[in-house]
Amino acid sequence: MFPPFTLTRQTVLARLFQTLRAGHRWLGIAGCLLFLMWFLSGLVMSVVGFPSLTDAERLRGLAPLDGSLLRVTPDAALRAAGAHNFPRKLWLESLVREDGSREPVWRMVLADGSRHTVSAQTGTRIDAVDVARAEAIARAFAGALHTRWTGTVERDQWTVLATLDRQRPFHRIALDDAAGTELYISARSGEVVRDTSRRERLWNWLGAVPHWFYFTPLREKSDLWRQTLLWVSGICCLSALSGLVLGLQRLRRQSPFSPFIGWMKLHHMAGLGGGLFVLAWMVSGWLSMSPGDWLRNTPPGKAAMARYTGSVAPEFPWPQQRATLDALLSETGWKDIQLYWVDGHARMTLTNGEGYRRALDLPGFDHPDVTEQHAETVARALLPDARINAIERLTAEDAWWYGRRDPKELPVWRVQMEDPAETWVHIDALDGRLLGTMDRDARLRRWLFNAPHAFEIPALSARPALRWSLMWLAAFAGIAVSLSAVVIAARRLTR
């Protein structure tokens, strides 16, 4: 007869740790190079971000509006574009012609996301921009004497984002300057949508491209790209968690604290010193992909936006006093004029090249008074069934309302609503526009992703040198763990 088999607590723990060691070993072998790549590329990204055209850069590059050329009203432009409702966004800016002269154009984004451009001088639609005009636009935008067309691309490494799909293809124009600048200009509308420099392109091959898996053949398939990142980073999270557990299990209470020597000892001690950061950094990166649509902010729906604007008809009360309008447009070199509805009021906001803004009600050119009562009215229109918990006026950035690359709009009204999603509504205190909503998931994402992954912690916001020092120190601990894992994996595989 066989002796009775008893499963003791010690036996269960021994087998559990044996399985954990085997799992960590092979997960580490499979993912050690990924860990090392993520930490090194993360350091590069902290210095050089992915190429983008900021709003400040766009405004600096635009030519000032010439009011004397403005002959087409917003209503006529909307009819020319075939708009049946007031668009999601409508603005006026200048567009350069082949000969270097400029014409004002109405640009709009309709409810379905389609984009249209109509000349505000002639009323004709602009649906195509040739190479000669694209080069003229690039010269005016950058103040360059010489430009060189390098091709028309549907999609390349720096224009992979789905947000640019409605503006493809792009003329790529090289400025032949010392920085190696290239501009991407929509062949449909003539908008400058991206600028890159030689330094950005070089360092991003070591930074954002590998870090985010931004390889064009993969990134253009959004669902496949997202699932790939979720599964790869999720498996690496398990590797980091198992390593932290095993590191604590093998820790000795007295010197020498580690039973290992050489690279194994470095891996053990660096893992204990930086293990929590490595785990938090990996898990926060995984959460940034919103697995299961968790931590994804839900914007207001169409019905809510219709209540907020107070008008969806494709008409807009444009001022008839030509002299007054010309005087206004010649004031300070306005470069962008946004038209919109807020609570049934037609309004426009003018912005110059330095970012200075001025808001006016139409058609009478009155200055809007965006009071606390207005903020409450807008919030109630968005969420009519919700109570208001609090209203505050922000004059400086805080833990929730802050800019990552560009400063955020200020001052701002924040209205905290008592709805199932615990929504916060942010309203521009200058012109009353809705700047965005932030629900419970968005605020949770701020602490589960932004804080641990990029060290965006309120206590460090006024101490950038300390923030950078802590971030780099933690990253070097992660590099030590990853590099030692690579050496250990190579030795095991070559035995």
Residues in the chain: 495
Per-residue pLDDT tens digits of the chain, which is 495 residues long: 555 555 677 777 778 878 888 888 888 888 899 999 999 999 999 899 999 999 999 999 999 998 889 999 999 999 999 998 899 999 999 999 999 899 999 999 998 889 999 999 999 999 999 999 999 999 999 998 889 999 999 999 999 998 999 999 999 999 989 999 999 999 999 999 999 999 999 999 999 999 999 999 999 898 999 999 999 999 999 999 999 988 888 887 777 888 888 999 999 998 888 888 889 999 999 999 988 888 888 888 888 998 988 887 888 888 776 777 777 877 778 999 999 999 888 999 999 989 899 999 888 888 888 999 999 999 999 999 999 999 999 999 999 998 877 788 999 999 999 999 999 999 999 999 999 999 999 999 999 999 999 899 888 888 889 998 999 999 999 999 999 999 998 988 887
335 three-state secondary structure: strand
Going by C-alpha positions, the residue among 457, 414, 456, 459 that lies closest to residue 438 is 414
The token pair at 49 is 């971000």
- What count of Cα atoms within 13 Å lies in the side-chain half-sphere of residue 347? 24
* pLDDT for the residue 7: 63
Strand pairing partners for 192?
A: 185
340: three-class secondary structure by DSSP: strand
State how far the Cα of 213 lies from the Cα of 219, in Å rounded to an integer. 7
pTM score, whole prediction: 0.88
Q: How far apart are CA 277 and CA 281, in angstroms?
A: 6
d(CA 416, CA 443): 12
From CA 266, how far away is CA 488, in angstroms rounded? 11
Q: Which two tokens stand for residue 317?
A: 């009360």
Cβ contacts of 369 within 8 Å, gap of 6 or more: none
Who contacts 205 (Cβ-Cβ below 8 Å, separation ≥6)? none
DSSP code for 313:
S
Do 412 and 434 contact (CB within 8 A), yes or no?
no
Cα–Cα distance measured from residue 137 to residue 142, given in angstroms and rounded to the nearest whole number: 9
With beta carbons less than 8 A apart as the criterion, state whether 175 and 144 touch: yes
CB atoms within 10 A of CB 337: 21
Q: What is the pLDDT of residue 191?
A: 96
DSSP string for 239-273: HHHHHHHHHHHT--SSSS--S--HHHHHHHHHHHH
Residues 6+ apart with CB under 8 A from 24: 239, 242, 243, 246
CB 451 within 8 A of CB 248: no
